[in-house]
Amino acid sequence: MNHKNCGCEEFQELERGFSRRGFIGSVLAVGGGLLLTDASGLQYAMAATGDTNTDVVITISMRGGMDGIMAVQPLGSPRLRTLRPNLSFDDSATLSLDNHFGLHRNLKAFKTLYDQGELAVVHAVGTPVGTRSHFDDQNSLELAAYNNPGLASGWQNRYLTEVGATDVLAGISTTRQRPVTFMGPASAAVFENTQDVVIQGLEAVKRTDYLNVLRDLHSKNTHQWGRTAAATITSAERLAKVDSATNVVYPATILGNRLKVLASLIKSGIPVKTANVDFGGNLDVHSDAGPLTGTMANNFTDLSESIAAFKADIAQDWKRVTIVTITEFGRRLQENASAGLDHGWGSAMFVTGGGVKGGKVIANWPGLEDANLRDGDLAVTLDYRHVLAEVMRYRGGMTSANLSNILPDFKPSDLGLVRNIV
Amino acid sequence: MGNSKDLALESAALAKLANGFDPTERANFRRLGFKAWLEDQLNPKKPENEFVTTAMANFVASNLSLAKTAKTFPYSAKKGTVGDEVIQTTILRRLYSSRQTYETLVEFFNDLIPVPVTVDTISRIQYDRDVIRANALGHYPDMLLASSRAPGMLYYLNGATNTRKHPNENYGREILELFTVSTKYPYVQADVVTAAKVLSGIGWSRASMSLVVNPKNHFQGPVSLLGWSDPNPGNTVGQILATSESMIRHLALLPATAQAFSHRMARRYVSDNPTDALISAMAKTYLATNGHIPSVLKTMAFSAEFASSGGGKLKRPSEYLNSTVRALGLRLSGPIQAGDPTAPFYFAGSPLGAIQKQLSVQGHEPFRWPFPNGYPDNEQAWTTMTGQVQRWNLSASLAQGLRGTGFSTVDYRSMLPATAKTPDAITTALATRIFGAPLPPDDHKTIVALVSKADISKPGIDNISVWASTATSLFFARPEWNLR
């Protein structure tokens, strides 16, 4: 990026003094030119943790390492075009957001949300410790407790505890295995389709008798399997009544289907507090990344159109939903010989929903010159936990005390991403 | 096999070192004793049974070389055909092979150095057969080397496009992180790049279906990582292959690899959190035997920790299905269609297709995990609402003989003595027959109470079978059956 054009020369300075733990006090919203204060200067909302006053906080897990630069390209950067002859675009081929950044053209539905003030972009964001390992970075991303190796629960699980959720269906992961973010003491339901969790019953005995015996048989078992069985039975019986019909046409993709399932729960009044939805597409594009017609182009269409369909489907419930996309790392700045991108560090996040103060790109943009990069990667100048903390604080009614339990040893800063729900 | 300790070991061994017991395997175990039974299981020459041998002959691509497969219709045109075949033959052998421990090892290694079936699908049988199965009773360094040169892995982790000018780090990273030393070893980014450089220029030709080594694409010059170095002249195909082999063998035999390998294996077979002592004992064997897989497995299996580990680990969906089917002695519901893979329902019509679908719903269809770390292997990951409901439903479907499971129905009359005529007697007799002992009194009572409520009022109904199927539906829904 040309720093003269973006008016952020001062961050050349910042970058030189960049240290992993030293940047929090200097967060800048490039789009609005807004300089934010550090954590010590903030007045935090103290919303009650009542049932009706919290959003459904949804993470869309972009597993595999989403390239943030291709999603949200810095404009006016001849260097980017040089380093990525195949995997970057002329500025005019992107959907310009603020003259500094342009969305990938297939994120058209995101541009609409952005223009409506319901989508914000956070850039050069990521985990505090980038290892370039999918598994280590994904694991630590979901544990979100970087100085607490003994803590074996995921952050969404701790959020459920802090929000006072007692209903198993308060936490939903539309996956076939439990993700780390939902591991821990709080219950959460894991299923991909509601028809997968219909208990069929036995032919010769009454359903209620059968279900009671199932409960009995599990009641003394101390494994998680046994401890969660009774809640599974109760929840399955409730889910059997959920109407999954919709007039909205979703993309015929894994994400489209998963969001459709989630929408049906929300519309049916299931009191979901937080959900994890795995994206399901291939983001690990070491070769043939497909910027215009292939893999990544399709990913962006899928992501943005699935969310647009979700919004249309849940209609008035959109105002109590906040969606955050999250990835374990971005990709290397320079493309490789296979027209692909190796593992990197900094990436971008999208935050969208009825309570989002959108229409802006929030970034402490580090620049793309060699000196700005970390080992060839876009530097992370903003810890992803700031984004999560703000969403949980203002849309989930979390106090500072709650947040310090969910994100231990972390001092969140206010980025101006969302309105207070109260 | 008299005392409870022997029974505990028998049940742990058959649940962990086999896909569950069936009457034949339990008899074998009792006849031979644990040590001789495991030696027999690990004998590379142990013959396969007639059923599996005959069934396997129906699968065409499994019996062809990769080059031949690629030229043979429909594999040459229909990408998914080989994929379905390797999935279904895997399911078949897990269920019915006489070489049960071998099949568990094949599963273990397909998770340790995995290639998803969606990647270069045409070669997935080759990967399973020539990389995994060919070496599962051999040495891990040999398997790792074969894997590094297999088309599936070359395409999956981008070795096929890894060149001197632009080393593709994908495989270089994972061979360190997942396949050898793990991130517990403090390797650095430069080591990842070095591993990629050493392997650069080693690719695959789809035209000739063979490895191609191009010195022009190979990084030439001295290389070193993790205590290994090589002048790496890289001028000839032979030099390039020799250098890369030397590096892979070095990595595969590092103490950190022995630890990481042993940890993965102990986690698979013993418990989610095996002790350091067990891992170290296994690692010692690994290093002393140059990574001889059966030797490491035996160190683990003959440990006190293994003997007392029964019932502590949650079965994954495939293990649940296999062990339930085997315990009930179920066969496939129909024949596997023979011979003609161009027939429209070659796979869809097979009972194995229904089983494949069931595993898919539970998120555990063979070779479908998209990432190179293999399917999760811990209790929390698999304790899901889907998992619980699907297992209860599967138990009910199999026990009641519902259509669509892919399996035969249970002939309860043949399993019960004529004297068993009440819900109580039937429940006792069936549990004893299947598990070797009656259920714990509380569970027995709970189940009998439900069985007694079964509706047997329909004219002509066989009350014995209704009672038996109701009881059996609950036997395999018990949480204890989900643990091994």
Tens of pLDDT, residue by residue over B4-32, are: 788 899 999 999 999 999 989 999 999 99
CB contact at 8 A, A353 and A87: no
Nearest C-alpha of chain B: how many angstroms from A179? 6
Q: Does B166 touch chain A (CB under 8 A)?
A: yes
DSSP symbols for B346-360: TTTTSHHHHHHHHHH
Nearest to A205 among B166, B442, B470 (CB): B470
Mark residue B228 as left, alpha or beta (left: phi above 0; alpha: psi -120 to 50; beta: remaining): beta
Q: Which residues of B touch A178 (CB under 8 A)?
A: 380-384
Q: Does B156 contact chain A (CB < 8 Å)?
A: no
> Dihedrals φ, ψ of A331, to 5°?
-110, 165
pLDDT value, residue A26: 30
Chain A: residue nearest B156 by CA? A286
Q: What is the pLDDT of residue B477?
A: 98
Rounded distance, CA A360 to CA A358, Å?
5
Among B168, B362, B393, select the one facing A176 at the smallest CB separation. B362
Contact at 8 Å (CB) between B272 and B313? yes
**A196, A213, A220 ranked by CB distance to B361: nearest:** A196
β-pair partners for A275: A58, A172
Of the candidates B168, B384, B483, the beta carbon closest to that of A191 is on B384
Q: Out of A63, A200, A225, name the one closest to residue B479 (CB).
A: A225
Q: Which residues of A touch B470 (CB under 8 A)?
A: 202, 204-205
Q: Is the Cβ pair A196, B450 closer than 8 Å?
A: no
B441 in contact with chain A, both atoms CB, cutoff 8 A: no
Return mean pLDDT, chain B.
Answer: 94
Contact A357, A405 (CB under 8 A): no
Q: Which residues of chain A are within 8 Å of residue B309 when distances are taken between CB atoms?
A: none
**DSSP track, B77-124:** T-HHHHHHHHHHHHHHHHHH-S-HHHHHHHHHHHHHS---TTSSGGGH
CA A26 to chain B, closest CA, distance in angstroms equals: 29
Provide mean pLDDT across the span B351-356: 92
Q: Does B457 touch chain A (CB under 8 A)?
A: no
Establish, for the pair of chains A and B, how many residue pairs have beta carbons separated by less than 8 Å: 162
**In chain B, positions 323-362, which contact chain A (CB-CB < 8 Å)?**
361-362
Contact A119, A110 (CB under 8 A): yes
- Name the residue of chain B whose CA is nearest to A185's CA: B380
Closest to B160 measured CA to CA, from B114, B214, B118: B214
* CATH level 3 topology of A9-406: Alkaline Phosphatase, subunit A (3.40.720)
- pLDDT, residue A7, reads 31
Specify the pTM. 0.89
How close A412 comes to chain B (CA, Å)? 29
Q: Cα-Cα-Cα-Cα dihedral of B410, B411, B415, B416, to 10°?
A: 120
Residues in contact with B173: Cβ distance below 8 Å, sequence separation at least 6, in sequence order = A132, A133, A343, B192, B195
pLDDT tens by residue, A151-207? 889 999 999 999 999 999 999 999 999 999 999 999 999 999 999 999 999 999 999
Using an 8 Å CB-CB cutoff, list chain B residues near A191. Answer: 384-386, 389
Distance CA A111, CA B451 (A): 61
Q: Do B170 and A342 touch (CB under 8 A)?
A: yes
| Contact call for B442 and A196, based on CB within 8 A | no
The CA-to-CA distance between both ends of chain A, in Å, stands at 39
Q: What percent of chain B has pLDDT over 70?
A: 97
Q: How does residue B77 score in pLDDT terms, banded at 50, 70 and 90? A: confident
Contacts of residue A154 in chain B, CB cutoff 8 Å?
none
Query: Is the per-residue pLDDT at A52 higher than 60?
Result: no
pLDDT digits (tens, 9 = 90+) for A377-397: 999 999 999 999 999 999 999
Residue B168: per-residue pLDDT: 85
**DSSP for A32-45, written as a single string:** TTEEPP-GGG----
Residue B379 forms contact with A (CB below 8 Å): yes
DSSP reduced 3-state for A30: coil
pLDDT over 50 (residue A268): yes
Which pair of structure tokens corresponds to residue A267? 């519309």
Q: How far is B384 from chain A (nearest CA, A)?
A: 5
Per-residue pLDDT at A39 exceeds 80: no
pLDDT at B344 (0 to 100) = 53
Mean pLDDT value of segment B173-202: 96
Compute the radius of gyration of chain A from its Cα atoms. 22
Q: In chain A, what residues touch B189 (CB-CB under 8 Å)?
A: 132, 375
Residue in B163, B364, B478 nearest the CB of A217: B478
Q: At what angle do helices B385-400 and B317-328 cross, to 10 degrees?
A: 20
Looking only at the bridges linking them, the beta strands covering A189-190 and B228-230 are unpaired
Among A267-276, B1-10, B23-32, B128-137, the least confident range:
B1-10
CB environment B220-246: b (16+ within 10 A), e (fewer): beebebbebebebebeebebbeebbee
Angle, CA A116 vertex, CA A11 and CA A50 arms, to 5°: 90
B382: alpha, beta or left, given left = phi > 0 and alpha = psi -120 to 50?
alpha
Question: Does B161 contact chain A (CB < 8 Å)?
Answer: yes
